[in-house]
Amino acid sequence: MTGAEILIQTLIEQGVTDVFGYPGGNVVDIYDALYRAQEAPRHILAAHEQGAAHAADGYARATGKTGVVIATSGPGATNLVTGIVTAMLDSVPLIAITGNVPTDMIGRDSFQEINITGVTMPITKHNYFVTDVRELADTLREAFRIALSGRPGPVLVDIPKDVQIAECEYTPAEALKPAVQKKAAQSEIDAAVKLINKAKRPYLYIGGGAASREMGAQIMAFAEKTDAYIGCSLMGLSLFPNAYERFLGMEGMHGKYASSMANHAADVIIGIGVRFSDRATGNAQKYAPQAAIIQLDADLAEINKNVPVDVGIVGDIKDALERIAQKCKAKHHPTWAKEIAAFRAAQAQMEAAAEKCSGEMYPAKLFRAINRLKTKDTIMVTDVGQHQMWAAQYSELYKPRHFISSGGLGTMGFGLGAAIGACVGTGEKAVLITGDGSFGMNLTELATAVTYHIPVVIVIFNNGVLGMVRQWQTLFFESRYAATGLERKTDFVKLAEAFGAPAGRAQSIEAFEALLQKAMAQDGPFVIDACIDKDEIVLPMFEADSSVDGIITQDPRQV
Amino acid sequence: MRFVISVYVENKYGVLARVSGLFMRRGFNINSLTVDETDDAAYSRITITLNGDENDKNQLVNQLKKLQNVKVVRELHKDTSLERELMLIKVKNSRENRAELLQACDIFRAKIIDYSTDTLCAEVTGEPSKINAFIEIMKPLGIVEMCRTGIVALERTHYIAEELDK
């Protein structure tokens, strides 16, 4: 078999059913092998390699399987970079396969040559430059194992053209199982139990690590037993139904008031699969001043990285929480419940007050319509900016892996590719919440959505500005709107139609609901240009070097 | 504080770049780094000295452990390990300073490896503190140029490769 054929056979052997990519001179052999192979994975041709990378990422987030993306050497490979880092920062298992110039052309600045292993060294879990076809199959197997082991992440395999052509015996093998995670030390479990048993105001702070292990039910049972409340990071969303009484929503810079306040007031915080990111904690020095912190994580290097913790528990977090739960006493904290109720009441009041001052197309109202018209299976996908935070605050979520968003890297332009990947992976409908800024970055993937008849409803929160940065300018730069007014003449309805997708514009809630109803009934993509006010801001908010002490809960222009 | 970290890595293409790249992107303040093959050609050993606090050291160790090619990471403690460094130093050689120069070399057991009418080149090995002291003595005599290897270190009794099986 040729190297290219071995690659395809190894993908099949690993259970890969879908790959995303874009052909080019140095992967043409791989594409030929894909074309000729029996039972070859389905290939989704993106419009741009970045879109393909985000699609493979969205596919992985929605399914829990490893996403696969293929790109050619040089610009094809460098176009993957943003997609790879996005996956890295959110711990998404991804295999990026790139072609390269033949080994004897390496290092000569040959046409479309780039040292992509060098470029991606800091942004992958690991990467490989395969120089011998005899090592290709095992390298790929190892790459898949690494991507899914421990804390998942992206792995890149760069294959020069001569290795793709070279022939070698192919020996089939079973897919390697991800490395078994170590069990946490008993002493740490005991230390955690001791703290939790003494707690009066326990708070569970849940992140992507718990989401990728789908620990929702386990955590809810633990919260019941210990009478704790739950908040989450952006990556922890969709693990708990919004209606669950102990769930307070996302915390942090733009988190729910009740969740951030509960975190601040807690005396014991149990962080599960979180890295205490600055967007969740604010100023780390001011974070949760009264709390003893217990951190459960698969990654040893996360313990004490951002916030010093009292107990660090490393290893299999599912097993660790199980062992903690067994030893914890059942508790009842009526005072804590009262405090939480007060935070919630204050939050409801703030939200009602903000809505009262708002215009017709108030984002929370749009989300009410979306929540009503989508089903429990609809996957919510976002881009990055104000709309993302509104989506995090207001989306009704029911199932894990049903809220897909670029958290760590905050990649504008992530959404459309990710939504395509999520739809391909699950066969479900997706609603993409995007903004005119984010959508503008990778809207070319509309072509992909139309070609493959992807059931994605694209809702553009169109305010004609880069809303999140503009919000900072409003609040902290005396309304000096440097470079955030888009003043573009883009007609998104015509644009969607030019791509072959039906579309409509909504300037009222009624029009929006009517369009959304139509869109949800469609099988393919549908674009809704929802015109919102450029002066809407996301509340609450606290500044990066601040904490809940500096929380802004009311639009200062309305005071 | 100064920490000495010994890292056992697979002897493969690009491993040093992975390790040094990690220091750069995580902002670690590395003093020295030495690397070469071990008795087993499949492995190289990297010795790192780091300036920082306990937390910096833990982060460095934990981040290193995440690299796929890194097999063992150990902190070496002064009382249980041996540290050596080698320096080549070229100093002005003149009638006025020659006596002092030769005497200092003798006391520090520096080996004179080159001698010309203008300069003298000495090889000094020892603990970093000894090398530093020698440099101080040479300064007023006129250092032309110098080169230090950075620290290599071994634990007195523990054998790092034993950790490979764990």
Measure the CA–CA gap between A390 and A396, rounded to whole angstroms: 11
Residue where one domain finishes, among candidates A108, A134, A165: A165
Same domain, A15 and A156: yes
Same domain, A435 and A470: yes
Residue A411, classified by CB atoms within 10 Å of its CB into exposed (0-12), middle (13-18) or buried (19+), is: buried
- Contact (CB<8Å) B68/A122: no
Same domain, A124 and A150: yes
- Contact (CB<8Å) A121/B68: no
Residue A105's identity, in one-letter code, is M
Omega within 30 of 0 (cis) for the link into A540? yes
- Contact (CB<8Å) A121/B17: yes
Crossing angle between the packed helical segments A415-426 and A49-63, to the nearest 10 degrees: 50
DSSP-assigned letter for residue B110: P
Measure the CA–CA gap between A267 and A259, rounded to whole angstroms: 14
Measure the CA–CA gap between B140 and B118, rounded to whole angstroms: 16
SS3 B44: strand
Judge whether residue B145 has pLDDT over 70. Answer: yes
**Which residues have CB under 8 Å from B33's CB, separation 6+?**
B19, B20, B46, B47, B48, B49, B150
Range of the structural domain that residue A395 is part of: 359-535
Catalytic annotation on A215? no
Closest-CA residue in chain A for B23?
A: A122
State residue A351's pLDDT score.
94
Measure the CA–CA gap between A149 and A177, rounded to whole angstroms: 8
A488 bridge partner residues:
none
Chain B residues within an 8 Å CB radius of A305: 59
The proportion of chain A whose per-residue pLDDT surpasses 90, expressed as a percent, equals 95
Measure the CA–CA gap between A89 and A411, rounded to whole angstroms: 10
Which of A429, A449, A430, A422 is closest to A64 using CA atoms?
A422
A310 bridge partner residues:
none
Same domain, A392 and A326: no
Same domain, A470 and A336: no
Closest-CA residue in chain B for A304?
A: B55
- Contact (CB<8Å) B68/A117: no
Chain A residues within an 8 Å CB radius of B67: 126
Same domain, A271 and A141: no
Q: What is the mean pLDDT of residues A503-528?
A: 97
Q: Which residues of A160-188 are buried (b: 16+ CB within 10 A; e: fewer)?
A: bbbbbebebebeeeeebebeebeebeeeb
If one counts every other C-beta atom within 10 angstroms of the C-beta of residue B25, the result is: 12
Phi-psi region of A453 (alpha: psi -120 to 50; beta: other; left: phi over 0): left
Judge whether residue B38 has pLDDT over 70. Answer: yes
Q: What is the mean pLDDT of residues A198-210?
A: 98
Judge whether residue B165 has pLDDT over 90. Answer: no
State residue A357's pLDDT score.
85
The tokens describing A104, both together, are: 């004897």
Q: pLDDT-based confidence at A359, cuts 50/70/90?
A: confident
How many residues are there in chain B?
166
Write out pLDDT tens, residues A183-196: 999 999 999 999 99
Domain definitions of chain B by residue range? 2-76, 82-152
Q: Which residues of A37-63 are buried (b: 16+ CB within 10 A; e: fewer)?
A: beebbebbebbbbbbbbbbbbbbbbbb
Q: pLDDT-based confidence at A422, cuts 50/70/90?
A: very high
Catalytic annotation on A376? no
Q: What is the mean pLDDT of residues B30-55?
A: 95
Q: pLDDT-based confidence at A11, cuts 50/70/90?
A: very high
Give the one of A300, A304, A305 whose C-beta lies nearest to B65's C-beta: A300
SS3 A281: helix
State residue A543's pLDDT score.
87
In a domain, A104, yes or no: yes
Q: pLDDT-based confidence at B13, cuts 50/70/90?
A: confident
In a domain, A177, yes or no: no
Q: What is the mean pLDDT of residues A348-364?
A: 92
Give the one of B21, B63, B68 whose C-beta lies nearest to A126's C-beta: B68
Half-sphere exposure of B36 (CA within 13 A, CB side): 7
Phi-psi region of A150 (alpha: psi -120 to 50; beta: other; left: phi over 0): left
Same domain, A55 and A139: yes
- Contact (CB<8Å) A301/B59: yes
The tokens describing A168, both together, are: 């070698």
What is the spatial order of strands in the sheet that B2-10 belongs to? B30-37, B43-51, B2-10, B70-76
Measure the CA–CA gap between A255 and B80, rounded to whole angstroms: 50
Q: Which residues of A99-128 are buried (b: 16+ CB within 10 A; e: fewer)?
A: bbbebebbeeebebbbebbebbbebbbbbb
Question: Angle A504-A508-A510 (CA atoms, 0-180°, nearest 5)?
Answer: 85
pTM (predicted TM-score): 0.96
What is the residue-averaged pLDDT of chain B? Answer: 95
State residue A549's pLDDT score.
86
Return the CATH number at A124: 3.40.50.970
Q: What is the CA radius of gyration of chain B?
A: 19
Q: What is the CATH number of domain B82-152?
A: 3.30.70.1150
Which of A70, A52, A64, A128 is closest to A91 using CA atoms?
A64
Same domain, A383 and A514: yes
Q: What is the mean pLDDT of residues B112-125?
A: 96
Whether B46 and B76 have beta carbons less than 8 Å apart is answered as no
A392 sits in which H/E element = helix A386-394
How many residues are there in chain A?
559
The tokens describing A547, both together, are: 């904490």
Distance from CA of B21 to the nearest CA of A (A): 7
Measure the CA–CA gap between A155 and A121, rounded to whole angstroms: 10
- DSSP string spanning A99-159? EE--GGGTTTT-TT---HHHHHGGGSSEEEE---GGGHHHHHHHHHHHHHSSS--EEEEEE
Distance from CA of B54 to the nearest CA of A (A): 11
Closest-CA residue in chain B for A150?
A: B66
Measure the CA–CA gap between A405 and A430, rounded to whole angstroms: 12
- Contact (CB<8Å) A121/B13: no
Q: Do domains B2-76 and B82-152 have the same CATH topology?
A: yes
What is the residue-averaged pLDDT of chain A? Answer: 97
**Kind of pairing between the strands at B119-126 and B111-115:** antiparallel
Catalytic annotation on A111? yes
Q: What is the CATH number of domain B2-76?
A: 3.30.70.260
State residue A559's pLDDT score.
67
- Contact (CB<8Å) A299/B66: yes
Write out pLDDT tens, residues A465-501: 999 999 999 999 999 999 999 989 999 999 999 999 9
Which of A142, A137, A148 is closest to A65 using CA atoms?
A148
Measure the CA–CA gap between A540 and A554, rounded to whole angstroms: 7
Whether A384 and A411 have beta carbons less than 8 Å apart is answered as yes
User: What's the domain count of chain A?
Assistant: 3
B residues 23-42 closer than 8 Å to A (CB): 25
Return the CATH number at A332: 3.40.50.1220
Which of A554, A556, A536, A558 is closest to A351 using CA atoms?
A554
Give the one of B17, B21, B66 whose C-beta lies nearest to A301's C-beta: B66
Write out pLDDT tens, residues A37-82: 999 999 999 999 999 999 999 999 999 999 999 999 999 999 999 9
Measure the CA–CA gap between A219 and A325, rounded to whole angstroms: 9
Whether A396 and A242 have beta carbons less than 8 Å apart is answered as yes
A residues 285-324 closer than 8 Å to B (CB): 299-301, 303-305, 308
Residue found by looking up tokens 């040959």 in the block:
A110
- DSSP string spanning A176-196? PPPPPPPPPPHHHHHHHHHHH
Cα four-point dihedral sign B58, A296, A546, A89: positive
